[in-house]
């Protein structure tokens, strides 16, 4: 099975699905990542571009990612980018990776780039209905990205409501934290949601919700078949 994680910025993929990515790769699936703002120019404490690329590659190697696709869309300015350009970039990633399952941001995330990524991804996943040479989409899932999803405070929008849980075990959480540690300047001290303790606690909480030994939670919004 080919999986594609579509995110706005480097590290979003690990925060939202790092342990699941590791598990899927270990099971022999093809795990691929599409990062729309590959250089994330507006990030605080951002390392040099070469260092950032090293961080991305190191993190993805830990998780067993097959392919990394980077865009150059402007960080925290996706609202200035024509919607069609975002959609077409994601469509190319779907074609390149032969993606069958896609994970992306929840549209109610506080971060505006996450919102536009989610909207564009929702449009792009319909590609199989327009082209017979594209593998049919099996599932679209929204992720929770700590420090963004829980701050989706706009009550006019439907907030993240998990209905799908992936058991990742302690090793999955360890690999997620190890992969995040490759990103310079991203992790924070507890009680920040991007701290080791908070990430481990969230995995324990989601595991407790679902009767699993540590879990990552997703919201499945489209699924074909059984």
Q: What is the mean pLDDT of residues 172-195?
A: 96
C-alpha 80/C-alpha 184 separation (Å) is 28
* Sequence-ordered list of residues with C-beta below 8 angstroms from that of 36, at least 6 positions apart, any chain: 6, 7, 8, 9, 71, 73, 78, 86, 89, 90, 113, 117
Q: Given the DSSP bridges, would you call strands 139-143 and 101-105 parallel, antiparallel or unpaired?
A: parallel
pLDDT in tens, 59-69: 999 999 999 99
Whole-model pTM: value is 0.97
Q: What is the mean pLDDT of residues 174-187?
A: 96
C-alpha 2/C-alpha 34 separation (Å) is 13
The alpha carbons of the chain give a radius of gyration, in whole angstroms, of 16
| pLDDT above 90 for 158 | yes
pLDDT in tens, 110-144: 999 999 999 999 999 999 999 999 999 999 999 99
C-alpha 151/C-alpha 111 separation (Å) is 9
* Sequence-ordered list of residues with C-beta below 8 angstroms from that of 155, at least 6 positions apart, any chain: none
Q: What is the mean pLDDT of residues 78-104?
A: 98
For the chain, what are the domain ranges? 2-221
- Give the pLDDT band of residue 226 (cuts 50, 70, 90): low
Q: Among residues 198, 90, 104, 194, which one has the least CA distance to residue 143?
A: 104
The two tokens of residue 217 are 């939670």
Run of H or E including 35: strand 30-35
| pLDDT above 90 for 46 | no
| pLDDT above 90 for 43 | no
CA 154 to chain centre: 21
Ordered alpha helix ranges (H), 98-168? 112-124, 127-130
Q: Which fold does the domain 2-221 belong to in CATH?
A: Rossmann fold (3.40.50)
C-alpha 219/C-alpha 163 separation (Å) is 5
The mean predicted confidence, pLDDT, of the chain is: 96
């Amino acid at each position: 099975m080919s999986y594609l994680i579509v995110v706005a910025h480097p590290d979003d993929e690990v925060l939202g699905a790092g342990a699941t990515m590791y598990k899927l790769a270990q099971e022999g699936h093809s795990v691929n990542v599409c990062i729309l703002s590959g250089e994330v120019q507006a990030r605080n404490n951002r390392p040099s571009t070469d260092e950032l690329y090293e961080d991305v590659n190191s993190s993805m190697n830990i998780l067993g990612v097959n392919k990394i696709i980077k865009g150059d869309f402007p960080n925290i300015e996706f609202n200035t980018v024509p919607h069609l350009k975002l959609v077409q970039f994601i469509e190319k990633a779907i074609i390149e990776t032969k993606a069958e399952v896609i994970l992306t941001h929840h549209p109610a995330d506080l971060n505006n780039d996450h919102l536009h990524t989610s909207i564009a991804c929702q449009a792009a996943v319909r590609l199989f209905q327009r082209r017979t040479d594209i593998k049919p989409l099996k599932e679209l899932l929204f992720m929770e990205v700590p420090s963004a999803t829980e701050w989706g405070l706009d009550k006019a929008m439907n907030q993240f409501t998990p209905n799908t849980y992936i058991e990742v075990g302690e090793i999955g959480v360890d690999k997620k934290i190890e992969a995040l540690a490759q990103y310079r300047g991203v992790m924070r001290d507890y009680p920040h949601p991007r701290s080791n303790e908070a990430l481990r606690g969230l995995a324990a909480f989601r595991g407790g919700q679902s009767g699993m030994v540590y879990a990552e939670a997703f919201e499945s919004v489209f699924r074909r078949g059984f």
